[in-house]
Structure 1
């Protein structure tokens, strides 16, 4: 019998995709999760924009020339991508897959349309929709930013309502009423997902084969 010291928990990691409407607090929740020192790797996006002062390639972004990025698009090397203000942004497939193969969990914070694109290419991911306590609270959060016009706020709320209707495509819904509570729920989801039998089945059958 082979003496296998690896534990099942060190097998394939879990991709956690966190999204929700603008203003719901995705960035705040992810920053809090980072401070909790959870076993989560944060997905690094690729972009064609120039690095800003202090940004490091491979840590803040994978900085690419436009032709490099378009080569990645042509070769299906991105789980999703979009173009904003003349620059491409996207999620490199290889970074995600390599991280998961190392047995590490990875979290991707992304807007709703991008999350649905990821689900098409990576349906085995775990998709979490972050909700506001109410639409009135979401309106207050957007308004208190002080950088949006009345028309812009109205448009953002309309988009948010459309995005919330897409919640049926997600595995879990977490209400961000208190950041700490939302983080605790996400932590519980990660633990539960790592314990699903289908995630350890192959390894379990390998172990059984070694003793029979």
Structure 2
């Protein structure tokens, strides 16, 4: 039996405070397995220069967005700085049924919504922690992208994010990037073998039972 062909996809959620290494781990994961794809969010904000509908975001008006939420077609959604953002369920459901994993980069609130959705049986949630708060600050400062006041706001938000660490299936302390990535690969590889991810196993086992009965006859 080709288990890869018969398995269902996972909704892989990665969350962390800013600077803990989540984005780097997600990038490495997608390089390790090119069949992985990021969930393309829907938003009511206007496209920026260079952004393509369906590639960077699904751009919709507010009425359409609210209708999708009301119809249960959003796995998670939030209102941020005057605009709505959310993860459409349709493309994710298709990917899962086709045996393809979908990666989500969401905060703890988005993770909770997805974990309580109709697709909850296929969710794998992972929280990434920094080795220390001082190291978290050092990483944010070393980026050279944000002003001091922005870094301070990120640090203040980090505590709220970290306080929800125990709501995830797995927690990785990213003290060493290479070692953390190896652990992440191990988690994903093992979770792909869950019974819920292998709908073809029932028929396979029935086939084994039939062979056993034929041998005994």
TM-score (norm 2): 0.84
Alignment of 1:38-117 (within 5 A): 38-117=34-113
Query: What runs of 5+ residues in structure 2 fail to find an aligned partner?
Result: 211-217
Distance in 2 (CA, whole Å) between partners of 1:139 and 1:7 is: 46
Distance in 1 (CA, whole Å) between partners of 2:100 and 2:111 is: 20
Q: Provide the secondary structure at the position in 2 that maps to 1:50.
A: coil
Please state if 1:14 is matched with 2:10: yes
Distance in 2 (CA, whole Å) between partners of 1:90 and 1:159 is: 21
Q: Provide the secondary structure at the position in 1 that maps to 2:116.
A: helix
In the TM superposition, structure 1's runs of 4+ consecutive aligned residues that sit over 6 Å from their partners are none
Deviation at 1:12, TM superposition (A): 0.8
1:205 is matched with: 202
Work out which of the two has the higher radius of gyration on C-alpha atoms and give 1 or 2: 2
Post-superposition CA distance 1:142-167 (Å, at most 9, x none): 233452435x5444334322322211
Shift in CA distance, 148/117, structure 1 to aligned 2, threshold 3 Å: farther
Post-superposition CA distance 1:70-102 (Å, at most 9, x none): 111111111111122222111111111111110
Deviation at 1:210, TM superposition (A): 4.9
Kindly tell me the number of residue pairs found equivalent between the two proteins.
205
Q: Is the 8 A contact 2:21 2:174 kept in 1?
A: yes
Q: Is the 8 A contact 1:21 1:164 kept in 2?
A: yes
Distance in 2 (CA, whole Å) between partners of 1:54 and 1:38 is: 24
